[in-house]
Structure 1
Amino acid sequence: MRSYLILTMCLLFLMYYFVNSTWLGYLVVIIAILAFLTSAYYSRGFPRIIGSIMMGVGITLELNKGAGIEGVSQGVLLILPLLCLVTLSPLLSMPLKISGYFKSVESLLQNLLHHPKKLFFGITSSLFILSPILNLGSIRIISEFLENLKLPAAMSAKSYLIGFSSALMWSPYFASVSLVLYYLNMPVGRYILYGLCLSFLSLLIGNLLFFVWQKKHSISTSGHPEKSLDCTHKKQLVKLVLFVILIMISSLAIEYVTKWSMVIIVSLISITLPLIWGILSNGWKKLNPLLKVYRDQSVPMLNNEIMLFMSAGVLAHAIQGTTLANRISDSLTIIANQSFLLFALAVMGIVLVITYIGVHQIAVIAALAMQLNADELGISNLALAMLLLLTWSISASLSPFSGLNLMVSRLVGMTGVQTGLRTNGAHLIVLAILGISFVIFMK
């Protein structure tokens, strides 16, 4: 029943985006709040606590501002595009699962086992390609491929965080890119090449630092015979890369022609792609079981995401225009007019401190994106977007409470602090320095 509630929320919001009817907007908000309450009931642990706190603070701020229920509704509507994206994007993986692409990725990684440097590059690049489509599920899949190989925990932690966090800075299929560009009112087509440059920089730094780390740490491959990659798997891997490129180009082309929000475009593609694949390949018998698993298992498991995203969205909207937010914005504007470097460090410091204690990136970065004005800062919207997404990527890796860090920590058997700060601290520091330098060059 909860699955139908969440899916109805997404479909009605997509209708609302095009119809923009007042009564439909109220209906969407009511269903979204019901979805939040049911998710709060089934959610457990830290997401339930921090989500409840953020929602409570957000509602209190809206009431104090005099916006009341209307303000809360606007906060919900602002975050619903991202909830649609998170809910519907797993549908993209179904044709890939049925077509056997994941087996080819597994074969590639096993083939590279006797070459640690190539294996590390294979893991990070695989995550870089798969993450936009599978989100955090890509880490779980790669982890299953490598489960029997007994790689060092530090190596796994490095590769998972570097590969996934790099994709956070470029793909419109991620909430990070979609949210920042949505609030800055910037087309993805204008940003994506610069985002790819930041992402490739992150991958390069991560792999170079691993080469240094690997010289001091031996990686045993005994008991695992070396395998060769056959032509069938090579062709499948080429098809996988082409598939990702095709959906990215399609998304950008649709955005260019229609001027629709990229979040809406990605959601629509997520719905239509499996249907088109089923029609063209006549593969409904294979597709139906995956759709049932998606409905009965995947969607109900979104409790934490709905809790955190919706509460963070309401809080971000409520913070906008408050005395504290205005003071921070004015202070950052003064700093930016004096030195962009100090401004970048201040923004990064604010986000890292707040997210490190458990507040979701959406609440902090969305509030900054809505509050800051690029013209007043004396920089371009592009530079501001790059800085915010660079900061998002670093904070997602560093914070022991982020979904990325929590998943990687659980898979490799390390604490969040060990996974983020100790294992990947050097990468994050170098990335911050070179990333800010790149943004300064582009501003």
Structure 2
Amino acid sequence: MRSYLILGMCALFLVQYFAELNWLQFVVVGLSILAFLGSAFKADRFPRWLGIIMMTAGIVIEWHKGTGVQGISDGIFLILPLLCLLTLAPLLSVPLRLSGHFGSIAALLRNLMHQPRKLYAGITGTLFLLAPVLNLGSVRILNEFMEEIKLPSTMSAKSYLVGFSTAVMWSPYFASVSLVLHYLNIPFEEYILYGIGLSVLSLVVGNVLFALWEKGNPLSDRSATKAPLEKEHRRQMIKLVLFVVILMSACLVVEKFTHWSMIVIVCLMSILVPLGYGVVSKDWKRMAAPLVDLRDRTVPMLNNEIMLFMSAGMLAFAIKGTSAANGVSTLLVHLADRSFILFALAVMLIVLSITYMGIHQIAAVGALAMQLNPAEIGISNIGLALLLLLTWSISTALSPFSGLNLMVSRFAGISGVQTGLRANGLHLSILALIGIAIISYIG
């Protein structure tokens, strides 16, 4: 029943986006509140209480601002696109599973299992390709392939976090990119090259550091035989690359000609791509099982995400314009006048401090994106977006409370602090310094 409630909320949001009916907005907000309350009973203890506290604080702050029910409704409605994105994006895994791409990825990684540096490049490269479309599902799927290889804990922590965190900085299928570009009013087509450039840089730094680390911690078996990858698997990998390129290109083309919100475009693509695959392949029977699994297992498992996303979004919206937010904004503008590096480091420190307490990046980064004025800081909208997304990516990897860190630490069998800070602290520090230097140059 909760699945139908959440899916119905997503469907009505998309209708409301085009119909722009005020009464329908209240209906959608009502459904989202029911979904929030329903998720509260099923969520894990920490996200449940954190979500309740943040939602309560957001509502109380917004009420005291004098906006009343309309303000609270606007705050909740503002975060609904991200919930729709979170719910509908997993639909894209259906055609990928049925087309045999995942089997070819598994074959590629098995082929590299005795060549640690190439295997690391294969894992991070695969996540660079899959994570923008499948989100955390990409890590889960890849780990299933890796279980028989039994990677060392440090290698798992390094490869999974480096590969996945790149998508946080450029993929329109991620809440991070959609939220920041939406708040800063930046078209995705203007941002994508900057985002991909920073992501590729992170990938290169990660692979170079791993090669240096592997020299002192040899993992290779030089006596192992190496077999070439079969032609069919190579063909499937090429098809996978083309699929991602075509999908992202289609999103850019639709945005350019319609000027719709990129979040809405991505949600529509998440529905239309599997539908198109079913029409072309006429394989509706095979599609039925993963679609039912999505309805009965994937959507009901979003309890923690719904609690954290909705409550953090409400809190970020409510904080905007308060004396505390204005004070932080004034401090950051003052630092920016003195030095961009001080400003950038302060932004990173604020977000990392908040996320290390367990509060989702949406609350911290969302509040900063809504509060800061790029003109006052002396940088462009693109520059501020890059800084916020770089910070989001770093905090996702470092915070022991982030969904990525929790999942990877569980797979690697080590603590969240070991996964984030110890295994990837050097990589993230170098990336932060290089990123700040690039952003200051872009201006």
Counting only pairs closer than 5 Å after superposition, residues 327-406 of structure 1 correspond to structure 2 as: 327-406=327-406
Equivalent residue, structure 2, for 1:73: 73
Equivalent residue, structure 2, for 1:205: 205
Residue 93 (structure 1) aligned with residue 93 (structure 2): yes
CA offset digits 1:125-149 (Å, max 9, x no partner): 0000000111101001111101011
Equivalent residue, structure 2, for 1:158: 158
What is the rounded CA distance, in whole Å, between the counterparts of 2:119 and 2:17 in structure 1?
A: 44
Residue 248 (structure 1) aligned with residue 248 (structure 2): yes
Residue 44 (structure 1) aligned with residue 44 (structure 2): yes
What is the rounded CA distance, in whole Å, between the counterparts of 2:97 and 2:211 in structure 1?
A: 32
- For the residue of structure 2 that corresponds to 1:149, the secondary structure is coil
More moved, 56-65 vs 432-441 = 56-65
What is the rounded CA distance, in whole Å, between the counterparts of 1:45 and 1:166 in structure 2?
A: 30
The CA deviation at 1:224 is 7.3
Equivalent residue, structure 1, for 2:190: 190
State the one-letter code of the partner of 1:31. L
CA offset digits 1:242-282 (Å, max 9, x no partner): 00000000000000000000000000000111111101111
What is the rounded CA distance, in whole Å, between the counterparts of 2:113 and 2:228 in structure 1?
A: 11
Residue 15 (structure 1) aligned with residue 15 (structure 2): yes
The CA deviation at 1:222 is 9.2
Question: Given that residues 111 and 228 in structure 2 are in contact (C-alpha distance below 8 angstroms), is that contact kept between their aligned partners in structure 1?
Answer: yes
State the one-letter code of the partner of 1:338. R
Equivalent residue, structure 2, for 1:320: 320
The CA deviation at 1:121 is 0.4
- For the residue of structure 2 that corresponds to 1:127, the secondary structure is helix
What is the rounded CA distance, in whole Å, between the counterparts of 1:12 and 1:134 in structure 2?
A: 23
What is the rounded CA distance, in whole Å, between the counterparts of 2:18 and 2:373 in structure 1?
A: 28
What is the rounded CA distance, in whole Å, between the counterparts of 1:208 and 1:73 in structure 2?
A: 48
What is the rounded CA distance, in whole Å, between the counterparts of 2:441 and 2:46 in structure 1?
A: 39
Q: Which runs of 4+ in 1 moved over 6 A?
A: none
What is the rounded CA distance, in whole Å, between the counterparts of 1:278 and 1:149 in structure 2?
A: 34
The CA deviation at 1:188 is 0.3
Equivalent residue, structure 1, for 2:407: 407
Counting only pairs closer than 5 Å after superposition, residues 112-131 of structure 1 correspond to structure 2 as: 112-131=112-131
State the one-letter code of the partner of 1:386. L
What is the rounded CA distance, in whole Å, between the counterparts of 2:284 and 2:265 in structure 1?
A: 24
The CA deviation at 1:437 is 0.6
- For the residue of structure 2 that corresponds to 1:151, the secondary structure is coil
Equivalent residue, structure 2, for 1:63: 63
What is the rounded CA distance, in whole Å, between the counterparts of 2:150 and 2:13 in structure 1?
A: 45
Question: Given that residues 131 and 138 in structure 1 are in contact (C-alpha distance below 8 angstroms), is that contact kept between their aligned partners in structure 2?
Answer: yes
CA offset digits 1:37-60 (Å, max 9, x no partner): 000111112211211111111112
What is the rounded CA distance, in whole Å, between the counterparts of 2:314 and 2:256 in structure 1?
A: 30
Residue 296 (structure 1) aligned with residue 300 (structure 2): no
CA offset digits 1:150-203 (Å, max 9, x no partner): 111000100000000011101111111011001101000000000011001100
The CA deviation at 1:335 is 1.5
Question: Given that residues 396 and 405 in structure 2 are in contact (C-alpha distance below 8 angstroms), is that contact kept between their aligned partners in structure 1?
Answer: yes
Equivalent residue, structure 1, for 2:264: 264
Residue 423 (structure 1) aligned with residue 423 (structure 2): yes
Question: Given that residues 115 and 221 in structure 2 are in contact (C-alpha distance below 8 angstroms), is that contact kept between their aligned partners in structure 1?
Answer: no
- For the residue of structure 2 that corresponds to 1:260, the secondary structure is coil
State the one-letter code of the partner of 2:38. T
Residue 148 (structure 1) aligned with residue 148 (structure 2): yes
State the one-letter code of the partner of 1:205. V
The CA deviation at 1:289 is 1.1
What is the rounded CA distance, in whole Å, between the counterparts of 2:95 and 2:334 in structure 1?
A: 51
CA offset digits 1:359-416 (Å, max 9, x no partner): 1000000000000111111110000000000000000000000011001011111101
What is the rounded CA distance, in whole Å, between the counterparts of 1:185 and 1:77 in structure 2?
A: 17
TM-score computed with the length of structure 2 as normaliser: 0.98
State the one-letter code of the partner of 2:235. K
RMSD of aligned residue pairs (Cα, Å): 1.2
State the one-letter code of the partner of 1:357. M
State the one-letter code of the partner of 2:230. D
Question: Given that residues 127 and 138 in structure 2 are in contact (C-alpha distance below 8 angstroms), is that contact kept between their aligned partners in structure 1?
Answer: yes
Gapped runs of 5+ residues in structure 2? none
Residue 135 (structure 1) aligned with residue 135 (structure 2): yes
The CA deviation at 1:223 is 11
Question: Given that residues 116 and 220 in structure 2 are in contact (C-alpha distance below 8 angstroms), is that contact kept between their aligned partners in structure 1?
Answer: no
What is the rounded CA distance, in whole Å, between the counterparts of 2:415 and 2:108 in structure 1?
A: 29
What is the rounded CA distance, in whole Å, between the counterparts of 2:27 and 2:75 in structure 1?
A: 15
Equivalent residue, structure 1, for 2:239: 239
The CA deviation at 1:64 is 1.9
Question: Given that residues 113 and 221 in structure 1 are in contact (C-alpha distance below 8 angstroms), is that contact kept between their aligned partners in structure 2?
Answer: no
The CA deviation at 1:290 is 1.1
What is the rounded CA distance, in whole Å, between the counterparts of 1:222 and 1:70 in structure 2?
A: 66
The CA deviation at 1:68 is 2.8
CA offset digits 1:318-344 (Å, max 9, x no partner): 100110001111111121122111111
The CA deviation at 1:220 is 5.3
TM-score computed with the length of structure 1 as normaliser: 0.98
What is the rounded CA distance, in whole Å, between the counterparts of 1:380 and 1:227 in structure 2?
A: 50
- For the residue of structure 2 that corresponds to 1:95, the secondary structure is helix
- For the residue of structure 1 that corresponds to 2:301, the secondary structure is helix
What is the rounded CA distance, in whole Å, between the counterparts of 2:327 and 2:20 in structure 1?
A: 34
What is the rounded CA distance, in whole Å, between the counterparts of 1:124 and 1:141 in structure 2?
A: 13
State the one-letter code of the partner of 2:260. W
CA offset digits 1:282-313 (Å, max 9, x no partner): 11111111111111111111111110000011
What is the rounded CA distance, in whole Å, between the counterparts of 1:405 and 1:198 in structure 2?
A: 21
State the one-letter code of the partner of 1:401. F
What is the rounded CA distance, in whole Å, between the counterparts of 2:253 and 2:300 in structure 1?
A: 33
State the one-letter code of the partner of 1:198. L
Residue 215 (structure 1) aligned with residue 223 (structure 2): no
Count of residues in correspondence between the two structures: 443
Question: Given that residues 278 and 287 in structure 1 are in contact (C-alpha distance below 8 angstroms), is that contact kept between their aligned partners in structure 2?
Answer: yes
- For the residue of structure 2 that corresponds to 1:113, the secondary structure is coil
Residue 179 (structure 1) aligned with residue 206 (structure 2): no
